[in-house]
Structures are given as structure tokens and as C-alpha cells.
Amino acid sequence: MRVLAALALVFLVAIVVMLTFASDVFWEAVG
């Protein structure tokens, strides 16, 4: 269970980083 929790945490962090990066690129393109 601890391994699954660690994987889920890493997955969530990766999603947040991707969204932040995508948002930054999006605003650069718009602005």
C-alpha cells in the first residue's frame, strides 16, 4: 500500500507540473 501511495503522489506532482508548464506556454502564446 505504501508503494501505491508513493506512486500516486509522484503521479499527482507530475500532473501539477505538466499543468503549470502548459499554462505558462499557453499564456506566452496568447500574450
Mean pLDDT, residues 3-31 taken together: 96
CA atoms within 13 A on the CB side of 27: 5
Q: And the C-alpha cell for 8?
A: 500516486
Instruction: Record the cell numbers describing residue 24, joined without a space.
Output: 505558462
pLDDT number for residue 6 = 98
What is the spatial distance between Cα 27 and Cα 21, in angstroms, rounded to a whole number?
10
Share of the chain above pLDDT 70, in %: 100
The span from the CA of 3 to the CA of 6, in Å, is: 5
